[in-house]
Amino acid sequence: MKVHELVAACAKAVEPSDPMSSTREVLEHLHANVEAIEHALGYISGIGGNARQAVETF
């Protein structure tokens, strides 16, 4: 997974008439791929390589 794919998935989730459900589906899918997210976000400075910390701040 690349960062732009993560951003696109989250942005697309808020478009439908029920953004809460759509966002929940995206997050559930992402939860299953947390290692890919950690790898994609591993370059973010100031988090010490902890991508979960970056996601938790959103």
**pLDDT per position as a tens digit, 33-52:** 888 888 877 766 655 555 55
For residue range 7-43, list pLDDT tens digits in order: 888 888 888 788 889 888 888 888 888 888 888 777 6
Residue 44 CB contacts under 8 Å (≥ 6 apart), including other chains: 51, 54
Q: How far apart are the C-alpha atoms of 41 and 30, rounded to whole Å?
A: 13
Which domain does 15 fall in, by range?
3-56
Confidence of residue 56 (pLDDT cuts 50, 70, 90): low
- How far does CA 49 lie from the centroid of its chain? 15
The number of domains in the chain is 1
Which among 56, 54, 27, 28 has a CA at the least distance from the CA of 42? 54
Nearest to 26 by CA among 37, 41, 42, 39: 37
